[in-house]
Amino acid sequence: MSDDKTPIIDPLVKEAWDYLMEVVGDYETFVKNIGNLGYSAPQVMYYRDEVQEGLDDLADSDAVNISGAYQKVVELDAILRKKAQDLVDEIGHKNFIQYQIQNDPPRKNWWWWLNRVTAPPPPPAKLWEFWKYQAFSSSPAPPEPEVPRTEPPKNPEIAKYFKKGSTERPGD
């Protein structure tokens, strides 16, 4: 005899829920390792896409309560916003542009547009200053003075997701 209080969950909904939990866990792993991801750094954006799809798929389901998963994603997104400059530096500004061209993400997926709200990379050394390059010197090169980063460009479409206290849903 079955317990009448046990909810019956559609196997497809259960599979979607299990997948969402797996992807949120992977997203968390990647977000917490920003700065040490190397060539796998772009996976942060792909996992965030998968998380958003999972949240959207289960948003209207009465069988599962996604509020806990949603809260976890909000926390991870806050970490991602704080580490945005590190992620963009790790992937590279020009590589970000290439990923945007390849994937053509919608503007609401703000994580694909982090390069537009972070400072650009410092300019490279001038070619005519060849004596500053390590390959031509017999002693270690003196440390280069740090080039200050400029303020991030103001892009209101993307910057609205970075305002403190933003109450917008992830992916909106």
CB neighbour list of residue 162: distance below 8 Å, 6 or more residues apart: 81, 84, 117
pLDDT for res 1: 47
103 pLDDT more than 80 = yes
- The CA distance from 54 to 49, in Å, is 9
Nearest Cα residue to 54 out of 23, 100, 27: 23
Q: Residues 152-162: pLDDT tens digits?
A: 666 777 777 66
125 pLDDT more than 60 = yes
b or e along 12-22 (b: 16 or more beta carbons within 10 Å of the residue's beta carbon)?
A: eeeebbeebee
Q: Residues 49-63: pLDDT tens digits?
A: 999 999 998 888 888
Q: Residues 134-143: pLDDT tens digits?
A: 555 556 666 7
